[in-house]
Amino acid sequence: MSAILPGSTIGMLGSGQLGRMFTIAARRMGYRVATLSPDQDSPTGQVADREVVASYDDLDAIRAFARSVDVITFEFENVSYAASEAAEAIVPLRPAGRVLRTTQNRFREKTYLAEHGFPVTPFVAVNSAQELRKALHGFGGRGVLKTTGFGYDGKGQARLESEFDVDDVWPSYEGAPAILEAFIDFEREISVVAARGASGQFAHYGAVENRHRNHILDLTIAPASIPEAVAREAVRITEGVLESLDVVGVLCVEYFLDRAGKLMVNELAPRPHNSGHFTFDANITSQFEQQLRAVCGLPLGSTEQLRPAAMANLLGDLWEGGEPNWRAAAYFPEVKIHLYGKLEARPGRKMGHLTALAATPELAARRVWQAREALTSR
């Protein structure tokens, strides 16, 4: 394909923080960005050249948007497949709509991975309380029930410890497709963010460790403190996933690492990922510039990491006692503050993040934690 060069307009479906950071990278390289989402004065819209406010289900608006740009990508995979088809009929969509369709549904995603030989957590589709009990029994009485679509940051998930939990949990899932996954006693969670260009060029950011709080990513440490052989295997699997799906763009593979050292794919995200935010400060090419390069048909950039890093999310809970103490966090000279321009702080809502660079991953993690703690000092 011919390259889409600076001066062109990139269309972004979605308008959150991922689109915002993508837009910053794109404008730095001389591109224009238009964003479409149902929200006005959005994190992406605040920095984009043009903000279109429309529903993802408004196919006429999607088509008009597609005619006004040179290529479309997305930062939010819960765009309908119909919308992706409408856009793709007019202008290149990268990654392609079929990638979106596979990864936006947990059952389709898990089935695809299993059928193509990738290691996944055991799973089964459930459509009734009776099926859930049977599946739970097959998994030894423990599992995680998940809706098949529109779930992130722990939404649409429930952990079951015994078959006695079924009557309490199932009523809120009834009527919506769901899957039960076996409970994994994992040693840690890791992820690999990677990119694939139109020519098949592959680049990755290595394995990073992710720590969650209340099902929301709390801290990412890069690189992960895991055996080198495990890190290489995670990258190998990730490259296989991108090749199998024929991804053009950025994709993150999230893994469970069990106590025997075995990796299992937990989820795919066909876009830049929260666990890759550290690359904005710590790598020669950030995941956002890499997404731009891939979708525009440019050669991929170097992913060399300049120093070990750690990223800590800033949730709306930090605003409960008033505006956070930004001055206190700024006293840490090796810490970078990123705020997303969201108009309302709510508990559990991602409002920004901090990134710390240091001599070791452990020191970076300690620094970013200290800086975040300082935000609530008065």
Q: What is the pLDDT of residues 34-81, one digit of tens each?
A: 999 999 999 999 999 999 999 999 999 999 999 999 999 999 888 889
Domain ranges of the chain: 9-93, 122-182, 186-374
Q: Which long-range contacts (CB under 8 A, 24 or more apart) does 148-152 make?
A: 148/105, 148/106, 148/107, 148/108, 148/176, 148/177, 148/178, 148/179, 149/78, 149/104, 149/105, 149/106, 149/177, 150/78, 151/106
- Overall average pLDDT of the 10-33 stretch: 98
pLDDT value at position 153?
Answer: 56
* Domains 122-182 and 186-374 alike in fold: no
Interval 137-172: pLDDT, tens: 899 989 999 988 765 655 678 889 887 788 888 888
User: In this structure, are strands 263-269 and 309-315 parallel, antiparallel, or unpaired?
Assistant: unpaired
Residue 374 in this model has a pLDDT that exceeds 80: yes
What pLDDT is stored for residue 78 in this prediction? 82
CA distance 128 to 116: 28
- Which of 88, 139, 121, 73 lies closest to 268, judged by CA? 121
- Tell me, what's the pLDDT at 155? 65
The pLDDT value recorded for residue 319 is: 96
Residue 24 has pLDDT above 90, yes or no: yes
| C-alpha distance across the termini of the chain, in Å | 56
Q: Which residues contact 171 (CB under 8 A, 6 or more apart)?
A: none
Report the C-alpha gap between 228 and 207 in whole angstroms: 10
The superfamily in CATH containing domain 186-374 is: ATP-grasp fold, B domain (3.30.470.20)
Report the CATH architecture of 9-93.
3-Layer(aba) Sandwich (3.40)
Give the sign of the dihedral formed by CA 134, CA 140, CA 142, CA 147: negative
CA distance 53 to 37: 5
Comparing CA positions, the residue from 334, 298, 329 lying closest to residue 314 is 329
Q: The whole model's pTM is what?
A: 0.95
Model pLDDT, residue 167: 84
Q: Inform me whether the pLDDT recorded for 1 exceeds 60.
A: yes
Question: Are the C-beta atoms of residues 84 and 65 closer than 8 Å to each other?
Answer: no
Q: What is the CATH number of domain 122-182?
A: 3.30.1490.20
Pair 271, 196: CB distance under 8 Å: no
- Rounded to the nearest integer, the mean pLDDT of the chain is 95
Which residue type is seen at 180?
A: L
